[in-house]
């Protein structure tokens, strides 16, 4: 028994540990070559997503971030070459439209009067001065915000005698040039919602102002200056709506509506205004590009006015040509489709 404890059991333990160590080395440094060389075969299938042309109602509305602004001061201009004879108001005074702000006068030159008495003596007299007068009136109701003239100051036609700041307000917003494609016709009014202000109201006299090259913003031409974001939308706040300059809000431009219109998701149409193209899936599964005419676009759906019928099947996402594929186009090669998450998936197609 002593031999087993002293020699045999220790030898068995050494052998067992040696086998374990060899096995670990084998697994760590000498893996199975066949398993490493096994080819990975893809098992997923990518099918083109298809949608059908449907009918429904569509309403196009463009929502813009807006600001309430005070209408700019209007100049009361001189209509006579002469001098200021009298100022009827002071700076800060409230005036109504047509109120007299100043009186101008221009001296009329007269010929001297020459008289000869019975004895032949001649006398020359200068007649009393005569003046032509004109009044400068307030172009709008409001507050005289500036009155730079003084009595006796010379003026020319068109010189601003005073500035009148009206009590009216406007709502302004910047519209991106591309958004104007969504307007089938230019609106004349819009709905406005003011943050922390009154209930939603309609502003009128709407204009979309696109500044011309070289044009600058002046008091007589408000909003004409170029803005970094694009053209400016401006409309008048009704007089019975209480607002303050600097308030923010939203301006909703109506872009038209249609009932029982043929509709497709915007992702299925190449183009967003007037004309575009779709990829129709025929009964045998082939795909063909087809030109269509477009109507309203609400940012999610687009109206098809010509080129498709209700129930036609089209690709939900526009095919994207792979620029690295020399066989792209209408022939063989790969067809790439943009997915909703922005990724592009390509699959092989056969010509014809």
Q: Which of 77, 82, 81 has its CA nearest to residue 158? A: 77
Query: 20-34, 51-65, 182-196: lowest mean pLDDT where?
Result: 20-34
Q: Per-residue pLDDT tens for 35-94?
A: 445 555 554 444 568 888 889 888 888 889 999 999 999 999 999 999 999 999 999 999
Query: Is residue 262 exposed (0-12), middle (13-18) or buried (19+ Cβ within 10 Å)?
Result: buried
Q: Per-residue pLDDT tens for 289-341?
A: 888 888 888 878 888 888 888 888 888 888 876 555 444 444 444 555 555 55
Domain boundaries of the chain, sorted by first residue: 50-71+168-316, 75-166, 319-352
pLDDT score for 337: 55
Q: Per-residue pLDDT tens for 133-178?
A: 999 999 999 999 999 999 999 999 999 999 999 999 999 999 988 8
Token pair for residue 310? 């209700």
What class has domain 50-71+168-316? Answer: mainly beta
pLDDT score for 215: 58
pLDDT score for 7: 67
- The answer to whether the CB of 139 falls within 8 A of the CB of 164 is yes
Query: 21-30, 50-59, 268-277, 321-330: lowest mean pLDDT where?
Result: 321-330
The confidence band for 102, taking pLDDT boundaries of 50, 70 and 90, is very high
CATH fold for domain 75-166: OB fold (Dihydrolipoamide Acetyltransferase, E2P) (2.40.50)
* Residue in this structure with the two tokens 């100049």, named with its chain if needed: 75
H helix runs in the chain, sequence order: 2-3, 9-29, 33-36
Across 214-232, average pLDDT:
53
Q: Which of 270, 276, 269, 266 has its CA nearest to residue 297? A: 266
- The answer to whether the CB of 246 falls within 8 A of the CB of 227 is no
State the average pLDDT for the chain: 79
How many Å apart are CA 215 and CA 210, to the nearest integer?
10
Token pair for residue 314? 């089209």
Q: Which of 182, 175, 172, 239 has its CA nearest to residue 206? A: 172
């Amino acid at each position: 028994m002593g031999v087993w404890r002293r020699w045999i059991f220790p030898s068995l333990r050494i052998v067992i540990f040696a086998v374990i160590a060899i096995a670990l080395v084998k697994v760590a440094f000498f893996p199975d070559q066949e398993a490493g060389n096994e080819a990975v075969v893809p098992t997923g299938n990518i099918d083109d997503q298809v949608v059908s042309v449907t009918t429904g109602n569509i309403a196009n509305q463009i929502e813009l971030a807006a600001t309430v602004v005070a209408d700019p001061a209007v100049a009361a201009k001189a209509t006579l070459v002469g001098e200021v004879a009298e100022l009827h108001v002071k700076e800060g005074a409230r005036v109504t439209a047509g109120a007299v702000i100043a009186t101008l006068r221009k001296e009329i030159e007269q010929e001297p009067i020459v008289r000869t008495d019975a004895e032949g003596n001649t006398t020359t007299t200068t007649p009393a001065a005569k003046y032509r007068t004109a009044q400068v009136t307030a172009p709008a109701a409001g507050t005289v915000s500036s009155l730079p003239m003084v009595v006796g100051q010379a003026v020319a036609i068109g010189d601003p005698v005073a500035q009148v700041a009206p009590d009216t307000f406007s709502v302004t917003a910047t519209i991106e040039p591309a958004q104007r494609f969504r307007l089938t016709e230019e609106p004349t009014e819009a709905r406005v919602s003011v943050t922390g202000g009154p209930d939603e109201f309609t502003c009128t006299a709407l204009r979309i102002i696109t500044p011309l090259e070289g044009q600058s913003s002046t008091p007589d031409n408000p909003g004409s200056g170029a803005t970094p974001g694009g053209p400016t939308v401006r409309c008048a706040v009704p007089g019975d709506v209480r607002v303050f300059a600097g308030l923010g809000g939203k301006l909703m431009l109506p872009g038209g509506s249609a009932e029982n219109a043929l509709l497709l998701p915007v992702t299925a149409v190449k183009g967003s205004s007037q004309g575009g193209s779709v990829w129709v899936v025929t009964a045998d599964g082939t795909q063909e590009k087809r030109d269509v005419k477009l109507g309203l676009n609400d940012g999610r759906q687009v109206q098809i006015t010509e080129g498709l019928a209700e129930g036609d099947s089209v690709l939900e996402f526009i095919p994207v040509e792979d620029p690295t594929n020399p066989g792209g186009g209408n022939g063989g090669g790969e067809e790439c489709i943009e997915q909703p998450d922005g990724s592009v998936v390509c699959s092989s197609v056969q010509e014809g």
